Structure 1
């Protein structure tokens, strides 16, 4: 059961955030809350020691402080800031967190460049009414960065401590 939560909750939340941001340009608070609550309950049950558990929350707090400052300066959306912090909670201060942030920057940059070209093309006029592409085609809309965050989270998640614990448990069965 515990393994199922680890296999399902994080990936589902990343996919939901990406699709939600693509469709509505928002990431619901419940996505971040589900990620936080699930980690808070599951991590101690995996045998994570309390110091490591605390460091995971410290990583999330640091990421939240940085992303909140970026939000206050208009550099990112509030949903993106909260999702980044909730995702950092699952990774803690680790190589996976650095990889996640680097992937998010690269994928987000590529997405932004693609949107600039797409929005300036004739294709945007033709596909701008499509449910999935309307925010991509809208020149007044920002960048649905939740797409980059979701993809990055899915790329890095298999290497995180909770996922490695769950995979080891499955192999032991």
Structure 2
């Protein structure tokens, strides 16, 4: 397979994850097409990255586990539906053991994001927020949700280099 084609397939993951994180921060939504594109691109990228069929099966199993965990977090009201779908699609690409880094960085980033938003939403910051873009004003609105897709994207990008597909992409460089 041509190295350029392999690189493009394997680069789909970081590109879509970045788009998802930015979309969630600016609009509080993660479009379904992003999660669907990640899922659709997984098998071609895995084959391009040289993963064996058993390894692909393990990645699929981890994606299912991440889907169940995402659905549980959504049911508990911890994250939104788009976050849950993104969480599962990312889990599919990362597999094991990169998932440990993914979960740790996502959790730490989510906590830092919550603290930052609490600070941003405080009364003393309100005058400084008024002149910013509309999406920034929404981030600063007390009682508004947390765009957790940003934390999921940060965890995904931190974990990807240690995943089988991330290692395959590094081998092409």
Unaligned runs of 5+ residues in structure 1 are: none
Q: Distance in 1 between matches of 2:18 and 2:72?
A: 26
- Equivalent position of 2:90 in the other structure: 87
1:156 paired with 2:159, answer: yes
Q: Distance in 1 between matches of 2:129 and 2:115?
A: 18
Q: Normalising to structure 1: TM-score of the pair?
A: 0.90
* Matched-pair contact (CA < 8 Å) for 1:104–1:152: yes
Pairing 1:58-97 to 2, within 5 Å after superposition = 58-94=61-97, 96-97=98-99
| 3-state SS in 2 of match to 1:48 | coil
Deviation at 1:64, TM superposition (A): 0.8
Q: How many residues align?
A: 168
Q: Normalising to structure 2: TM-score of the pair?
A: 0.90
| 3-state SS in 2 of match to 1:75 | coil
Deviation at 1:125, TM superposition (A): 3.7
- Equivalent position of 1:43 in the other structure: 46
CA RMSD of aligned residues (A): 1.5
Unaligned runs of 5+ residues in structure 2 are: none
